[in-house]
Amino acid sequence: MPQLKHLARFTTPVNLNDTKDTPITSIVKPTLTFTESVRAILASQTQPLSVIEITELVSRETKHAYDETYIRLALKELVNSGNASSRKETHEERSIRSQGQDVRSLRATLFYSPAGIVPPRTVAEAVPGLTLYKPETFTARKIYKYPSKKARREHIEAQLVEVTPLPVAASSNQVVDYLIEKMVAERTADLQAQLDAANAKMAKLQELFKSAL
C-alpha cells in the first residue's frame, strides 16, 4: 500500500510556468566605474588632452558637470594603473593650443590613453568649442594726456559742465556776479539781524534809565 507522501507526490499538479529550475542564460553587464568611464572617453580621442579639456569632455558625455578635482584623481589612478600616460606639453604645442597668442599661464599636462608614448598635439581645438586662447572682452581704460596745464584745466572744466549742466547758458562772469550778489545778500541779512538785536537791547536800556530817573 503506498504511503501518504507518495500519493501527495503523484497527485500534486505540475506548474508548467515554474522557472525555478530553469538555467539562467541572460548576462548582466557590469556598470563602469567613474575612473573606467574616464579611461573609455580618453581612449576614444586622437589628441592628448589637458585636464580642463578632459573635464569638459567627460561632462558632455555623461551629461553631468564634474569638477576638475575628480578628473585629476581619476587620471592619476589611470596613470598609476598603467592605463594612461602623461607629460608636459612643449612650447610648440603651447603655441598651437593658444593659436600663436602669448599666454602667461604655465604649460599644461597632457594625458593620453592607452599608456605609452604620448603623441604630439597638432590641433588647437581638440574638444569642439573649447580653446586655450580667448580674445579679451573688456574695454581698456583710456588714459588722457594733456600737452599743457591750460589744456588739462579746459578738459576738466568741460567735464564738470557735462556732469552738472547749468539750467541757463551763462558766461563765467555772470556766474561769478551771481555768486557775489548771493554772498552779499546773505551777509547783509546777517548784519541786519545783528543790528536789529542791538537796537532792541538799546531800547530796553533807555527804558531802564528813564525809569531810574
Residue 85 has pLDDT above 90, yes or no: yes
CB 115 within 8 A of CB 85: yes
Distances (CA, A) of 15 to 8, 11, 81, 83, 98: 15, 13, 52, 52, 72
Determine the Cα–Cα distance for residues 28 and 195; give it in Å rounded to an integer. Answer: 109
**Among the ranges given (13-17, 54-58, 62-66, 142-146), the one the predictor scored with the smallest mean pLDDT:** 142-146
Distances (CA, A) of 80 to 28, 34, 55, 86, 146: 29, 16, 19, 11, 63
- The hierarchical CATH code for the domain 34-112 is 1.10.10.10
Q: pLDDT tens for residues 141-152? A: 444 454 566 666
Highest mean predicted confidence (pLDDT) among 37-51, 90-104, 169-183? 37-51
Determine the Cα–Cα distance for residues 179 and 173; give it in Å rounded to an integer. Answer: 10
CA angle 61, 39, 77 (to 5 degrees): 125
